[in-house]
């Protein structure tokens, strides 16, 4: 699960949280709740932006949808505004193209946050896939900021 904490357009925290116990859907949901609750306590956000789940993962889709619902309910219980962002919308808002690839969006995110460049283009495919979760989370956060009209980006392509 990729995570990112933004204050305005400043990237305060980023990473990937791994669900280690996958023995049952309830175990996955419990870990997800614990991770999100800790992040909320640590960073005290006003808004939680979440990617609308893509329903093309077969049996994993139901657990993913349930996890997203758990996260949203937890955020609402904590008094946070919840913004659900469609992946294509995030790509359009951040990358200017709703059909952009994950790698293209990651490159644009790196233009805005050069400190993330080290995670782009890993030597092993599994590492690339792992860090893509973080890039997606940053893009969702940026898309939420843009969709709220809080700021506009000026030519990210340098």
Averaged pLDDT of the chain: 88
Phi, psi (5° rounding) for residue 49? -100, 135
Determine if the pTM surpasses 0.85: yes
Give the domains, in start order, of the chain with CATH numbers: 2-147 (3.30.420.10)
Q: Are strands 10-16 and 2-7 parallel, antiparallel or unpaired?
A: antiparallel
pLDDT in tens, 52-90: 887 665 556 788 888 899 999 999 999 999 999 999 999
pLDDT in tens, 138-156: 999 999 999 888 654 444 4
Q: Is the pLDDT of residue 1 over 80?
A: yes
Give the span between the Cα atoms of 51 and 46, in whole angstroms.
17
Which letter does DSSP use for residue 122 in this model?
Answer: -
Q: Is the pLDDT of residue 123 over 50?
A: yes
Q: Is the pLDDT of residue 14 over 50?
A: yes
- Lookup: tokens for 1: 């699960």
CA 33 to chain centre: 15
Q: What is the mean pLDDT of residues 33-37?
A: 94
């Amino acid at each position: 699960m990729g995570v990112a904490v933004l204050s305005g357009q400043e990237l305060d925290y980023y990473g990937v949280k791994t669900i280690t116990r996958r023995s049952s859907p309830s175990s996955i949901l419990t870990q997800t709740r614990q991770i999100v609750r800790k992040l909320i306590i640590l960073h005290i956000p006003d808004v939680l932006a979440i990617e609308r789940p893509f329903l093309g993962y077969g049996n994993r889709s139901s657990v993913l949808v349930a996890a997203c619902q758990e996260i949203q309910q937890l955020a609402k219980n904590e008094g946070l505004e919840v913004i659900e962002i469609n992946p294509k919308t995030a790509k359009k808002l951040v990358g200017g193209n709703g059909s952009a690839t994950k790698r293209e969006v990651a490159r644009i995110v790196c233009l805005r946050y050069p400190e993330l460049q080290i995670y782009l283009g890993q030597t092993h495919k599994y590492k690339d896939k792992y860090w893509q979760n973080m890039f997606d989370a940053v893009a969702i956060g940026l898309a939420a900021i843009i969709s709220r009209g809080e700021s506009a980006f000026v030519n990210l392509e340098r």
